[in-house]
Amino acid sequence: MDGSRLAVVIPAYRESGTIGRVVTAAKEFGPVLVIDDCSPDDTGARAKAAGAVVFRNPTNKGYDGSLIRGLREARALGFEYAVTVDADGEHDAALLLEFRRLLLDIRLPLVLGVRPRKQRIAEAIMGSYIKLRFGVDDILCGMKGYRLSALEADGEAEDGHSIGTGPAISLLRRGAHFAQVPVSGKAREDKPRFGSGLGANWRILRALGRVLLQDIGQIGRRPTADARL
């Protein structure tokens, strides 16, 4: 399959147990770029051995920093589109075929994965607001597809506390057309890297708070649609 226009971007931190098979499955659909977020284990080495191009952060940048770097590196390498995939193996790589179709054939600027259920109460709260605001069912799913040229001017994508939602929300604010794809996969067996309990819920609610503040700041402004989207 010709994947020369599309890259698969995988932010990864301490995922040596899964990254090899994730890369192996994903590279059937396009070149794979792994952003190793200064992992203390051999995540980067295993990703490279499996066939990925690996970029290592000199210090830990968190998921948002790694995500933004991955999208920028893909653009710099000449790719037109990118699909982000979690490094823990939860996403079924076969879904990349549908993401690729919607991005390359239908030419949508944004494709969003939708998981079968929310994992935390804060996800349900944030999800309800984003659904009401933009019509999106699962903004927190890590599997998303982007037309990279549409992200060039996205200042909001720099937000380091968006837990991976910054680029997508910025596109949605600009009126981007999008499609949603049901995402299935195998739940990870060990402790989630995102965390659990109160800490994880707080991070999600903080991200929602930033979205709400941005929305409040836009009250009274005339929305402008981007013709490219």
Question: Which CATH number is 158's domain given?
Answer: 3.90.550.10
* 63 assigned to some structural domain: yes
Q: How much is the pTM? A: 0.90
Is 80 exceeded by the pLDDT of residue 50? yes
Tell me the average pLDDT across 189-204. 70
Is 70 exceeded by the pLDDT of residue 61? yes
* 199 assigned to some structural domain: no
* 127 assigned to some structural domain: no
Q: How far is CA 196 from CA 47, 161, 163, 190, 203, in A?
A: 26, 17, 14, 12, 10
Number of domains in the chain: 1
**CB of 82 within 8 A of CB of 7?**
yes
Length of the chain counted residue by residue:
229
**pLDDT per residue as tens digits for the range 123-177:** 999 999 999 999 999 999 999 999 999 996 554 445 567 899 999 999 999 999 9
| pLDDT of amino acid 58 | 96
**pLDDT per residue as tens digits for the range 83-137:** 999 999 999 999 999 999 999 999 999 999 999 887 789 999 999 999 999 999 9
* 99 assigned to some structural domain: yes
Q: How far does the chain reach from its first CA to its final CA, in angstroms? A: 27
Higher pLDDT, 75 or 229: 75
* 216 assigned to some structural domain: no
Q: How far is CA 173 from CA 162, 179, 223, 224, 225, in A?
A: 15, 15, 8, 9, 9
| pLDDT of amino acid 156 | 43
* 208 assigned to some structural domain: no
16: containing domain: 6-118+135-191
| pLDDT of amino acid 219 | 76
Reported confidence tier of residue 189, pLDDT bands at 50, 70, 90: low
Strand bridging mode 32-36 / 110-114? unpaired
| pLDDT of amino acid 155 | 47
| pLDDT of amino acid 135 | 97
Tell me the average pLDDT across 191-204. 72
State both tokens at 216. 């409040």
* 224 assigned to some structural domain: no
